[in-house]
Amino acid sequence: MQSYQCFDAIVIGSGPAGESAAMGLAKQGKSVAIIERYHCVGGGCTHWGTIPSKALRHTVSRITEFRQNPLLHNDNLYTIKPSFADILHHAARVIKEQVRMRQDFYHRNGCKILYGEARFIDSKTIAVHHDYNSSDILEAKFIIIATGSRPYRPETVDFTHARIYDSDTILQLTQQPKNIIIYGAGVIGCEYASIFRGLSVKVDLINTRSHLLAFLDQDMSDALSCHFSNDGVIIRHNEEFESIEGTADKVILHLKSGKKMQADCLLYANGRTGNTHAIGLENIGLQADERGFLKINHMYQTTLPHIYAVGDVVGYPSLASAAYDQGRIAAQAIIYGEASVHLIENIPTGIYTIPEISSVGKTEQQLTQMKVPYEVGRAQFKHLARAQIVGIKEGSLKNLFHRENKKILGIHCFGERAAEIIHIGQAIMEQKGQGNNIEYFVNTTFNYPTMAEAYRVAALNGLNRLF
C-alpha cells in the first residue's frame, strides 16, 4: 500500500533541531511533514540522550544530598540503596511527559507526522517505509535533514553481548552491577561515571587523552578529576583498548599498554556518528564525512541549496540548545532566502556530572595562546552563605576579564547548579559597549543569600588583583 503527498517542506527527524525547524516553518503558514523513524517524537535527545541521562543524574544527585545530610547520618531508617533500574522509572516518566508535550506542539501547528524510515528517491522526493510493508512517497520544495547522531561503534567490539553497552543501550540495563568499566572520558562518559558512582558502583574510567575534558578550562578539568578521585572513581589516562572480551559473567578489557581489567559490564562511550548511513544520500549526490556528518554553509544548506542539515548530524557543537537555534535559522533561511540570525559566538556548555560543570567564553589556555592580557577572579562556594545553608561544600566560580577594559572574556563554574548559574554571567557577557564590564557584578545588588552572590565575590577577587 502506497500514498503520494506534497508539502512545502519535509523534516527528517523530530529531535530539537527538527522540531525547531518545523515549528518555524509551520508558524509562517508552510505545510510541513515530519518523518520520525522511532514510534514517538522527540528524537535521541528525548529517548536516549539528554533527557533520560539528566533525569537519572538528578535522581542520583538528590540521593547523594540525602545521604550527606548530617541530620540523617545516624538514622538507619533513611538508608537509601536504589538500583539503576529503580531510578530509570523517574526517567521514563519524564520521557513520557516530554513526548506528550512535543506531540501536542506538532498537532497545534498543523504538522503531519509520519513514523517510519526515510530514504531519498531523488533530491525532492522521499520514501517513508513503515511497518507491515506499507510506505508513503513525499515530495517537497525544501528538505531538512535532522537525523541526529548515534554512539560510535567500532566493528571490533561485540555490542550484541549482554554485558557490553553504548550510551543508548545502557538504558536497558536491568541488573545492578557491582563494578563497571566506562571506556571514553568525554562528556557522556564522565556523566555516567558520576551516575554509577552515586549508586555505589565501582567505576573504572578509561580516558584516551592526557586529562579529562580537554576543551574545558584547566581548573575545571582538574576540579572534576580531583572530585572523581576523592569519590573513588579510578581514572586511567592515555589508554586505548586492544580488545574487549565478553564472557557469561563479566567483561574483560585488554588495553594496548598491556593492562587487563574486568568488570560486570562495560559502557563504550567514545565518540558519535551522524545518522546518514541509511537515508539514501547516494541517490542525490550528497556525501557525509568519515564520521557520518554533513557539511553545511552559514545558513545550514548542504551542497544542494534546497536541502538543509541541522543538529547533531552536522557535528560541532552537538548541543541540544544549539540544535534548536540551528533549526530556527534554517527555517528563516527557507522563508526569507537569507538568515538574519546566527548562532551566538559564546555558546554555553553544560556538563551534568555530579557536581555540574558549565562554561561560556574563553578559557585561560586560549587567552594565554592569544596573548590577551587577562585577570582572574575566583569565588569558592563553601564561603557563600547560601551554599553553607544547603550543605554545598565544593565548587567554585571563575571569571576571566581583560585587564585594561575589564571586559568579561570567560566564565567557568564547577559545582551544583552550575548550568543554571552560568546564565547570569552569559547575559552580561552578551551586553554591548561597557555593559559587559566585570564591575557590573560589584555595582549590582544581588538577592542574599543566593548562589548568584558568587559573581560579586569573584569580581571583587579579580579587581583586587589589578595594579
Cβ pair 339, 298 in contact under 8 A: yes
Residue 42, annotated as binding a ligand: no
Cβ pair 375, 383 in contact under 8 A: no
Residue 147, annotated as binding a ligand: yes
Residue 302, annotated as binding a ligand: no
Characterize 277-310 residue by residue with b for buried, 16 or more Cβ atoms within 10 angstroms of its Cβ, and e for exposed: eebbbeebebebeeebbbebeebbbbeeeebbbb
* CB-based burial label for 272 (10 Å; 0-12, 13-18, 19+): buried
> Do β-strands 265-268 and 32-36 pair in parallel, antiparallel, or remain unpaired?
unpaired
Residue 232, annotated as binding a ligand: no
Residue 187, annotated as binding a ligand: yes
- The torsion angle over the Cα atoms of residues 43, 49, 50 and 52, rounded to 10 degrees, is 100
Residue 242, annotated as binding a ligand: no
Distances in Å between the alpha carbon of 14 and those of 26, 45, 46, 114, 121?
14, 9, 10, 10, 21
Residue 191, annotated as binding a ligand: yes
Residue 149, annotated as binding a ligand: yes
- Residues pairing with 308 in the sheet: 144, 301
Residue 190, annotated as binding a ligand: yes
The cell numbers describing 247, all together, are 564472557
Ordered DSSP codes for 101-146: HHHHHHHHTT-EEEESEEEEEETTEEEEE-GGG-EEEEEEEEEEE-
φ, ψ of residue 305 in degrees (nearest 5)? -55, -25
Residue 54, annotated as binding a ligand: yes
Continuous H helices in 48-203: 50-68, 84-108, 187-198
Residue 271, annotated as binding a ligand: yes
Residue 99, annotated as binding a ligand: no
Q: Which amino acid is at 39?
A: H
Binding-site entries for NAD(+):
184-191, 271
* Residue positions forming the annotated binding site for FAD: 54, 147-149, 312
Residues placed in the known binding site: 54, 147-149, 184-191, 271, 312
